[in-house]
Amino acid sequence: MAPEVATKIKYKHGLDPIVAKNVLEEYNTHYIEKVGGGHYMVIGSSHAGCVTAFFEYEEGTAEIKTAYSSSNWQIDLYKRKRG
């Protein structure tokens, strides 16, 4: 994750960037949806609550662009998709 993205996640969204990274890496506890081009949204559960992150995926590498605490509709989507 780029340093400027980590700073934005921490100070603008009040979320530890490590939490965003962990949500993306925990394959068995998240839901991923393609949102256009090489852009994806991941919603996952963590010790900080439900987290939504947006990332680009190219050539086998995921690069987080932003992350924040999930909104109510994102939590509902996560619950419906994860059962």
CA dihedral 65, 68, 73, 77 (to 10 degrees): 60
Alpha helices (H) along the chain: 3-11, 17-25, 72-82
Burial class (CB in 10 A: 0-12, 13-18, 19+), 51: buried
Give residue-wise pLDDT tens across range 19-51.
999 998 887 778 999 998 889 999 998 887 899
Q: What is the pTM of this model?
A: 0.90
Give the confidence band of 14 by pLDDT, cuts at 50, 70, 90. very high
Q: How far is the CA of 73 from the CAs of 50, 69, 77, in angstroms?
A: 11, 12, 6
Q: Which domains does the chain have, with CATH numbers?
A: 3-82 (3.10.450)
